[in-house]
Amino acid sequence: MRILIAPDSFKESLSATDVAAALARGLQDVLGDAVTCLQVPVADGGEGTLDAILAAAPGATRTRTVRDPLGRPCQARYALLDDGRRALIEMAAASGLALVEPGLRAPLAASSYGTGELIGEALAAGAREIVVGLGGSATNDGGAGVLQALGAALRDAGGAPLTVPVGGGDLPRIATLDLAPLQERTAGVDFVVACDVDNPLCGPRGASAVFGPQKGATPAHVARLDAALAHFGRLLEDATGIAIGERPGAGAAGGLGGALLAACRARLVPGVDLVLDLIGFDARLVDVDLVITGEGRVDAQTAAGKAPLGVARRAAARGIPVVAVGGSLAPRAEIELATSFDAFVAATTAPTSLAAALRDTATNLEGAGRRIARWLLLARRLPRAP
């Protein structure tokens, strides 16, 4: 039997590579040589995207010192693929929420400037296609920090440039936006944005309202940031002729999706499909009997374009059954997601604390792998349907 194991990472616990390895250990513990486990970690454009692609496609990583969301120096990686022609950048590497301690999260001050520095490094290295994975951001600056790092001039009413780096709370101070230096620097370069959400820039489903609170925004902050993004969106429209306020995905990563769409003429694509194409996922499904995928929590968000859903769709198109494994399962997940997955397994089997679940994830996933293996042995013994 050939089983392809293609999970996303379990956030705050295990990488996708480690999740796949733990499930494989459990399966092989029961099935031994009767099973071949093909481990293919995946991602949806957020954290783990770079590792998932480099595990399957040749490329070289480079590490640079850039500014984190609070302007502190940090080490961030990016990758060069296709002989350096294509660069892959994870926003989370330079501007991610994981880089900011919970007590220091400051959505009014946090800036995406470091991500712009990484893009600048890739341009200097000769990349002609820049793929930016959005997800896990600490910022709500509308991508102004990225534009600033790439040479855009952000000036106040008196004509003075705003100091580096710009955060979301600074956006109302911007009176004029000059993108000419940025556009000269990025001329002839294709930008592709990997995004797993379709939220617009502003409003009830916008960047500030939906994602701001998890970045530390209070209700007052949300209202202030939403108005700031609306103002910055109008400036971008004036400068580029592209209206981003209602564009699906413009609100991704605190509005960076919209900034790249307008200023860099970026294409926004579903993150998981981009990753699956880059790693040659379809070819890996040949002669596979079962696919196992999963993520930290399987719930309604899983059906909103997350990596497991993308995996399930590719497998279903070839008639391959799919099992979804979650660190936890939402109460109605097996009902609400029944059309996407054939079976569901929770890694945890007894009530436990979040801290314990995170600590024991690898052990719990091995147990999940053993349970799936025993189901397969049981299925062999059941009489075939007439």
C-alpha to C-alpha distance for 358 and 368, rounded to whole angstroms: 15
Omega of the bond leading into 165 within 30 degrees of 0 (cis) = yes
Cα separation values, 92 from 47, 173, 312, 378, Å: 6, 26, 25, 43
Segment 180-234, tens digit of pLDDT: 999 999 999 999 999 878 899 999 999 999 999 999 999 999 999 999 999 999 9
Q: Poorest-confidence range of 51-55, 162-166, 205-209?
A: 51-55
Cα separation values, 260 from 233, 364, 380, Å: 12, 40, 52
**Closest C-alpha among 308, 229, 253, 243 to residue 276:** 308
Q: What does the domain layout of the chain look like in residue ranges?
A: 2-42+279-381, 49-272
Q: Poorest-confidence range of 38-52, 133-147, 163-177, 360-374?
A: 38-52
Is the pLDDT at 161 greater than 70? The verdict is yes
C-alpha to C-alpha distance for 337 and 177, rounded to whole angstroms: 45
Specify whether the CB–CB gap between 359 and 12 falls below 8 A: no
What pLDDT does residue 257 have? 95
The architecture (CATH level 2) of 49-272 comes to Alpha-Beta Complex (3.90)
Please state which CATH number belongs to domain 2-42+279-381: 3.40.50.10350
Segment 280-320, tens digit of pLDDT: 999 999 999 999 999 988 887 787 678 999 999 999 999 99
Query: Exposed, middle or buried: residue 76 (CB in 10 Å: 0-12, 13-18, 19+)?
Result: buried
Segment 135-149, tens digit of pLDDT: 889 999 999 999 999
**Closest C-alpha among 115, 114, 263 to residue 187:** 263
Is the pLDDT at 386 greater than 70? The verdict is no
What pLDDT does residue 180 have? 96
Q: Would you say the CATH fold of 49-272 matches that of 2-42+279-381? A: no
Cα separation values, 337 from 299, 302, 326, 357, Å: 8, 8, 13, 23
Specify whether the CB–CB gap between 118 and 61 falls below 8 A: no
Counting residues of the chain whose pLDDT is more than 90, the rounded percentage is 76
C-alpha to C-alpha distance for 301 and 354, rounded to whole angstroms: 19
Is the pLDDT at 356 greater than 90? The verdict is no
